Amino acid sequence: MRDQALGYALANENAQLEELKELLSIPSISAQPQHKSDIARAAQWLVDHLRAMGMQRAQVMPTAGHPVVYAEWMGAGKDKPTVLVYGHYDVQPADPFELWHSDPFKAQVRGQNLYARGASDDKGQIFVHVKAVEAYLKAAGKLPVNVKFIIEGEEEIGGPSLDPFIEQNAQLLASNVALISDTGMPQPGLPALTYALRGLCYMEVEVTGPKRDLHSGSFGGAVYNPIQALSEIIVRLKDERGHILIPGFYDRVRPMDDDERQSLGQVPFDDETFRAEAGIPATWGEAGYSVLEQITARPTLDCNGIWGGYTGDGSKTVLPSKASAKISMRLVPDQDHEEIGQLFRDYVTKVAPPQVQVKVKSLHGGRPAIVERNSPVIQAAAVALEKAFNRKPVFVREGGSIPVVSTFKRVLGVPTVLMGFGLSDDNLHSPNEKFYLPNFYRGIQASIYFLDELAQG
Amino acid sequence: MRDQALGYALANENAQLEELKELLSIPSISAQPQHKSDIARAAQWLVDHLRAMGMQRAQVMPTAGHPVVYAEWMGAGKDKPTVLVYGHYDVQPADPFELWHSDPFKAQVRGQNLYARGASDDKGQIFVHVKAVEAYLKAAGKLPVNVKFIIEGEEEIGGPSLDPFIEQNAQLLASNVALISDTGMPQPGLPALTYALRGLCYMEVEVTGPKRDLHSGSFGGAVYNPIQALSEIIVRLKDERGHILIPGFYDRVRPMDDDERQSLGQVPFDDETFRAEAGIPATWGEAGYSVLEQITARPTLDCNGIWGGYTGDGSKTVLPSKASAKISMRLVPDQDHEEIGQLFRDYVTKVAPPQVQVKVKSLHGGRPAIVERNSPVIQAAAVALEKAFNRKPVFVREGGSIPVVSTFKRVLGVPTVLMGFGLSDDNLHSPNEKFYLPNFYRGIQASIYFLDELAQG
């Protein structure tokens, strides 16, 4: 069955590419209301496609926002595991258009890459699994495991509708493992499994000094300036190496053992490339950790925005009433974003100068996630990747968040396998987004192997 | 001659009020292009008025911006001093209109106050001197001294045209003393002479971290955040009591002697009123100085604005490329704004974290000003005020800047007498601006006395 599927996939690479191009031609931009009909079109396209290849119950399911595409194939029976494949069909806006070398919604192959908005994030990557499942169904008429697809349309806008959808449809989505391809590989040819994601605790601090804006000539010198106070608060949050000074902040950080650090040390990471990408002369960060550990395995705190007083052209001599900052913390297992939010609030209130008033509010939170590297599903994925790429995968942690991973854990009780096929130069969210085609085709093979490995389980 | 003028002024209070109302009915808002014809109308109204009352060479003089009104009366002869009376006929915008209790451009008397935009700032105050001069000319046919009026139309927009105008017309404006009424009195019935003004050094600091905005999930932890760096710079500018830490900053500050501090101590100043006006629970500032000294006699540093990163609604996990702040210093005699700007630049560059780039630019500068309290012109003004108000004036320093004072000193070589008739509740630049009418009428008398005193000098 597996080899039939592999053979079918290999024989149909052209069709796979043409179909992906068709999906990529739909500008399903979730952030822009004028593309609402394109969102609907992309969802319907996927439903038609999934139905045509033999998936059951394929349907567009409404939510409070953009709809979810669902389909399943449960013919493997109750004694076989069920895999929940997640992806998203919505894409980022494509502007500035003038920086694209080809139409973002007319996918073009140049060299080994396919250029289009959504090529890698995430239409190309979810299509890997669609095509793997199709290969089984077309070549063997069946799958080695049960499969459910859930493909959402709000990922790029922070998806307010997905969590309620999963909660309301927990029965429908019942499964044993989730599979997501929305991450990356360190370099071409080297597959990777992401086993940990950082969580997020995003806060806003508003400092009020005088009740109204004052004239700095008439009041300056006797009134505590809220920008000054906010700067002091910010400076007190971290030491000079970026170690966070909020008491209790690190209490729940799961320590990395030597084995894990050694494993992370095997991930190719080039400091010079990182500096070039970031556009900085030198990296900087918490003592005792590599740059890769700093950006993926350690919690961090960053100011995301600051504003207050006069910000227009020229000089206005105002002593402002208010100053505000958005400050977010990336969390690692087993930190809890609600607890961290409270620690942040307490500390900021405590270190604020007594002459000002401080309001702290929580804007967003997301749990960090971790899957044991030794768990059977991760091992199955590792075997599948090695077979498809002829190389053992590296195990990586990701600095960002994929909130649905913790939702799957919390609501459905399932671990998630993050099998990513993106590359760091894929230009996600930027002009000239692309997908490296060898990863597309090998990804389909890896997915075929993975379903087979799970069935051996 | 003086008593004739006093008598004329007293007998014509109604006419004085009605004429001021007429001037106030012209919405000469310098900041709004749609009021350009009103600016021209106000200037012409003044020229006509000055000419009709017997002033010579009354004319609207063009500048690169709004015109200057000029008029003179030189009949006192070369052995009498020449007084240069400065004021401005432009006003602040009147919005928000809905907060006014009467039309801002239909002056209305309620109680002892005249309500209109410009009533106190500065049409009412310059009109004090116009009416004093008129009283002499109408009652006695002459003045005890030579008088020149220069009334500009760009004061409320930071007047870029006035300095070049004074420089180009230095000969025309040659005089022995300048007289300005654009300041205030500590309380009704207590006259005041302002003998010192603070200068200004207004800078902008731009900090660049990474070359472009980064994703805080992918880069946070290994990249120095420019908001963090800017906060550190701001915190390093002052100690916890507001003492400025820039080396050399205080080197040229002219020390206050006991006599001066005692004199300032006699100025009524109510901390509670100050706190209420500022809307703060407690004052704060440099140790060893009273609040009044802190806000008028000591140099200060305030952040006037700050911005960087994401400042919209909700949460965006950006690690920004840039953060900026506007930071200004109020200077006191004999600090030099250019020297202070350089010290600021050097210090900021030095204390900035090495991981970021810092650009410092100067946005605006103005010299502090001081006139010796014992100088003959100030003493003449003190005598005049005492005669008009039946109370000895207090000597005050002003926290803000009146840049023309240092221009008069620099270009014309003349000291300025700042004889103010405003009150702290006059609502300058706010809805319901007003002028306390007893100050209008007593001001006219004080001006009559002052010209007479100068002639004796």
ipTM of the complex model = 0.87
Of the candidates B3, B197, B165, the one whose C-alpha atom is nearest the C-alpha of residue B84 is B165
SS3 A178: strand
Element (H, E) at A132: helix A123-140
For B222, which of A209, A216, A295 is closest by C-beta distance?
A295
SS3 B396: strand
For the structural domain made of A199-257+298-365, what CATH number should be given? 3.30.70.360
What backbone phi and psi angles, to 5 degrees, belong to B31?
-80, -15
Residues of A in contact with B214 (CB under 8 A): 278
* Domain B2-197+368-456: CATH superfamily, name plus number: Zn peptidases (3.40.630.10)
pLDDT digits (tens, 9 = 90+) for A402-414: 889 989 999 999 9
SS3 A244: strand
Question: Which residue blocks in A300-360 are alpha helix, DSSP H?
Answer: 337-351
A110: left (phi over 0), alpha (psi -120 to 50) or beta: beta
Residues of B in contact with A320 (CB under 8 A): 303-305
Contact at CB, A216 and B308, closer than 8 angstroms: no
Question: Residue A152 above 80 pLDDT?
Answer: yes
Tokens at residue A209, please?
């000094």
Which whole-number Å values give the CA distances from A172 to A74, A262, A304, in the listed order? 11, 40, 38
Angle at A53 between CA A383 and CA A148, to 5 degrees: 55
Q: How far is B163 from chain A (nearest CA, A)?
A: 18
Question: Residue A158 above 80 pLDDT?
Answer: no
- What gap in Å lies between CA A25 and CA A175, rounded to an integer? 32
Residue of B nearest to A320 (CA): B304
Which whole-number Å values give the CA distances from A52 to A58, A214, B365, in the listed order? 9, 68, 74
Question: Residue A377 above 90 pLDDT?
Answer: yes
Residues of A in contact with B295 (CB under 8 A): 218-222
Contact at CB, B220 and A295, closer than 8 angstroms: yes
Tokens at residue A254, please?
């799961």
SS3 B108: strand
Instruction: Compute the average pLDDT of residues A149-165.
Output: 92
Contact at CB, B234 and A211, closer than 8 angstroms: no
Residues of B in contact with A337 (CB under 8 A): none
* Pairing of β A199-208 and β A394-398: unpaired
Q: How far is B314 from chain A (nearest CA, A)?
A: 6
- What gap in Å lies between CA A358 and CA A343, rounded to an integer? 15
Contact at CB, B305 and A318, closer than 8 angstroms: yes
Q: Which of B155, B156, B398, B433 is catalytic?
A: B155
Angle at B21 between CA B17 and CA B26, to 5 degrees: 155
Of the candidates B199, B243, B29, the one whose C-alpha atom is nearest the C-alpha of residue B116 is B29
Residues of A in contact with B232 (CB under 8 A): 231, 235
SS3 A303: strand
Tokens at residue A366, please?
């997301």
Query: What's the burial of A21, exposed, middle or buried (CB within 10 Å: 0-12/13-18/19+)?
Result: middle
Domain positions in chain A: 2-197+368-456, 199-257+298-365
Position B223: which residue type?
Answer: V
Q: Which residues of A are catalytic?
A: 90, 155
Q: What is the DSSP string of B111-156?
A: TTEEESTTTTTTHHHHHHHHHHHHHHHHHHSS-SSEEEEEEES-GG
Which whole-number Å values give the CA distances from B330 to A185, A225, B92, B192, B406, in the listed order? 56, 14, 23, 22, 15
Per-residue confidence (pLDDT) for residue B457, from 0 to 100: 74
Residue of A nearest to B229 (CA): A235
Per-residue confidence (pLDDT) for residue B314, from 0 to 100: 84
- What gap in Å lies between CA B86 and CA B405, rounded to an integer? 10
Per-residue confidence (pLDDT) for residue A424, from 0 to 100: 85
pLDDT digits (tens, 9 = 90+) for A427-456: 888 899 999 999 999 999 999 999 999 999
Q: How far is A292 from chain B (nearest CA, A)?
A: 9
Q: How many contacts, defined by CB atoms under 8 Å, are there between A and B? A: 258
- What gap in Å lies between CA A435 and CA A423, rounded to an integer? 8
Interface probe with B: pick from A286, A304, A423, A425, most Cβ of B within 10 Å? A304
- What gap in Å lies between CA B108 and CA B103, rounded to an integer? 8
Instruction: Compute the average pLDDT of residues A200-227.
Output: 94
Residue of A nearest to B353 (CA): A240
For B284, which of A202, A223, A234 is closest by C-beta distance?
A223
Q: How far is A362 from chain B (nearest CA, A)?
A: 10
SS3 A258: helix
Peptide bond into A96 cis (omega under 30): yes
Interface probe with B: pick from A303, A311, A423, A429, most Cβ of B within 10 Å? A303
For A221, which of B228, B235, B300 is closest by C-beta distance?
B300
Q: Looking up tokens 């009740």, which residue turns up?
A: A211
Q: How far apart are the first and last CA of chain A?
A: 16
A367: left (phi over 0), alpha (psi -120 to 50) or beta: beta
From the first residue on, what is the mean pLDDT of each consecutive set of 10 residues in chain B (457 residues)?
Answer: 97 98 97 95 98 98 97 97 98 90 97 97 97 98 98 89 96 98 94 96 97 90 97 96 97 96 94 91 94 96 96 89 97 96 98 96 92 94 98 95 91 96 90 96 98 93
Element (H, E) at A71: strand A68-73
| Helices B437-456/B2-11 angle, 10° precision | 170
Question: Residue A401 above 90 pLDDT?
Answer: no
Per-residue confidence (pLDDT) for residue B38, from 0 to 100: 98
**Calculated CA dihedral for residues B446, B452, B456, B457, nearest 10 degrees:** 50
Write down the mean pLDDT value for chain A: 95
Please enumerate in sequence order all residues whose Cβ is within 8 A of that of B26, keeping only pairs 6 or more positions apart, or say none: B38, B41, B42, B45, B105
Q: What is the DSSP string of B277-324?
A: HHT-SS----TTS-HHHHHHTS-EEEEEEEEEE--SSS---EE-SEEE
pLDDT digits (tens, 9 = 90+) for B12-47: 999 999 999 999 999 999 999 999 999 999 999 999
Q: How far is B212 from chain A (nearest CA, A)?
A: 7
For A303, which of B227, B274, B294 is closest by C-beta distance?
B227
A221, B242 contact by CB (below 8 A): yes
Interface probe with B: pick from A264, A302, A364, most Cβ of B within 10 Å? A302
Contact at CB, A210 and B298, closer than 8 angstroms: no
* Pairing of β B357-366 and β B199-208: antiparallel
Per-residue confidence (pLDDT) for residue A313, from 0 to 100: 87
Q: Which CATH class is domain B199-253+299-365?
A: alpha beta
Tokens at residue B52, please?
């009709």
DSSP at A159? -
B298, A221 contact by CB (below 8 A): yes
- What gap in Å lies between CA B400 and CA B177, rounded to an integer? 21
